[in-house]
Structure 1
Amino acid sequence: MCEEPLERVCPTCGSEQVIKNGSTHNGKPKYQCKICGHQFAIDPTNSPVSEETKQLIDRLLLEKISLRGIARVTQVRWSWLQDYVNQKLSQIPRQVKVSAKPLGKLVIECDEMWSFVDSQKNEVYICLAIDRNARKIVGCFVGDRTRKSARKLWASLPEIYQQFAFAYTDFWQAYKTVIPPKRHKAVDKETGLTNHVERLNNTFRQRVSRLVRESLSFSKKLNNHIGAIWYFIHGYNAELD
């Protein structure tokens, strides 16, 4: 007696409008939903990843562990992890929200940190602004080291910081063209007036594996690089709440 064929229904949206889309590594046919685009196999060999494992992965992404290492620790498929992380990073908000007006005088420190994407010849600078009193990151832009990037960093700040904050920076000339002169002072490292943001750069390199100078965990795509940085920023700020 023949068994009834398994129903071809998208597990994500429940649509029956699915088409064949190749096969898995072990020969099982794959399908793709014409409605939501989700790809799946019927009766897959690999069991779905639990919410508990996903939460663990979310926490591990905030530590200096490569994606290969996370896959080994959590025992998930490498291809699944890549897709999961890529989707998560693409959805990360790329601006800091301030829920209430900070108390006292607003003082920020700004600095730039070198990184790269795909090749060390492809330099990418991470421009950061930190609230000196709250120690939270309040602004970030990832790009080159030009006047445009300085403008983007300033634009990433919540409006209250753009209007009232006093800024200490290094002597990168681009800052002078962006920050109001009466609320800006360029200083040497020896003054200690940018110690907090410089220390933050070290924290980034200690916690984000793709920012280590000599690393096999570097980003291959700029969007993932930017997403990973903002993912860490939100996680870092949440730890200070």
Structure 2
Amino acid sequence: MSATVLPSCPSCDSNRIVKNGRIHNGKQNYKCRSCRRQFVQDPQNKIISQQTKDLVDKLLLEKIPLAGIARVTEVSEPWLQSYVNTKYESISQQVQVRTKKKGKLTIQCDEMWSFVTKKANKQWIWLALDAKTREIVGVYIGDRSRHGAKKLWQSLPPVYRQCAVCYSDFWEAYEQVIPSKRHRAVGKADATPRRRKAQGNAHQEETGKTNYIERFNCTLRQRVSRLVRKTLSFSKKIENHVGAIWNFVHHYNASLPV
């Protein structure tokens, strides 16, 4: 029986080709060991309908990895990755909230841990939430330093920087950035005995004042697969990590009742 003749690479014309599984429609996929390109013989471009794209947009808001979305929608993973890259690059990184009048406003601030590629590359998600409307009114993704707190403060619409009282935990960066007359460092309702002792009387006086933002943190971690603690769906590209979070924030704000 004669050996199977493998095609040459369409990019570098190399013959160092190996089989590399099959694509979504069952065709044999090949990989070039020289330039690392993946390809199929006689490719047929598949037109992705707008209905499929709309479904992909909805699935990106759920805790489903890209490989799972590709299987459900029957599109190729390379096409899906390209579509996601383009979508996240175009997403606005500015909060979109309803207009507020100057007056008594209250926001809750918190930060949650995430990473890109490896756990050593930590990316902290800083969030601010309007305690009355539940809108996310401030977002910044970066390090957990004074710089991160400053960027969160700058991301707030002007009316919040002028009027809002800000409740946060005892992370010192908040105190360094938010004006003292409008900042309240408070304890959490579920604080451990050791943490309560460290927080002192402030825990007894103000416990539970950040419960809405803590609940949103849980929602975000459960809905965005890149943020689930034990997962293989973590981000490998910082731009997509940031884009996925902003994509969910915009969806969340738009879905809140008026």
TM-score interval, normalised by the smaller of the two chains: 0.7 to 0.9
Mapped to 1, the partners of 2:184 and 2:136 lie a distance apart of 19
Residue in 2 that maps onto 1:16:
none
Structure 2 counterpart of 1:50, which letter? S
Residue in 2 that maps onto 1:186:
185
CA 221–195 in structure 1, closer or farther in 2 if over 3 Å, else same: same
Structure 2 counterpart of 1:25, which letter? F
Q: CA deviation at 1:25?
A: 2.1
Q: CA deviation at 1:24?
A: 7.9
CA 145–24 in structure 1, closer or farther in 2 if over 3 Å, else same: closer
Mapped to 1, the partners of 2:217 and 2:224 lie a distance apart of 11
Q: CA deviation at 1:117?
A: 0.5
Instruction: Give a deviation string over 1:129-172, Cα, whole Å, max 9, x none.
Output: 00000001010100011000000000011111111111000001
Is 1:211 the counterpart of 2:227? The answer is yes
Q: CA deviation at 1:103?
A: 8.1
Mapped to 2, the partners of 1:103 and 1:209 lie a distance apart of 37
Mapped to 1, the partners of 2:208 and 2:222 lie a distance apart of 21
Residue in 2 that maps onto 1:197:
213
Q: Is the 8 A contact 1:130 1:139 kept in 2?
A: yes
Mapped to 2, the partners of 1:102 and 1:163 lie a distance apart of 11
Structure 1 counterpart of 2:132, which letter? N
Q: CA deviation at 1:99?
A: 4.1
Residue in 2 that maps onto 1:128:
127
Is 1:164 the counterpart of 2:166? The answer is no
In the alignment of these two chains, the number of paired residues is: 204
Is 1:147 the counterpart of 2:142? The answer is no
Structure 1 counterpart of 2:73, which letter? T
Structure 1 counterpart of 2:187, which letter? D
Residue in 2 that maps onto 1:26:
40
The percent identity for this pair of structures is: 58
Structure 2 counterpart of 1:73, which letter? V
Structure 2 counterpart of 1:112, which letter? E
Mapped to 2, the partners of 1:99 and 1:171 lie a distance apart of 29
What's the TM-score, normalizing by structure 1? 0.81
Matches within 5 A, 1:88-103: 88-101=87-100
| Partner SS for 1:139 | strand
Mapped to 1, the partners of 2:217 and 2:116 lie a distance apart of 17
Deviating above 6 A after TM superposition, structure 1's stretches of 4 or more consecutive aligned residues are: none
Mapped to 2, the partners of 1:97 and 1:78 lie a distance apart of 31
Mapped to 2, the partners of 1:50 and 1:27 lie a distance apart of 24
Compute the RMSD of aligned alpha carbons: 1.5
Q: CA deviation at 1:205?
A: 1.0
Residue in 2 that maps onto 1:223:
239
Residue in 2 that maps onto 1:40:
none
Mapped to 1, the partners of 2:98 and 2:217 lie a distance apart of 25
What's the TM-score, normalizing by structure 2? 0.76
Q: CA deviation at 1:76?
A: 0.4
Mapped to 2, the partners of 1:121 and 1:75 lie a distance apart of 35
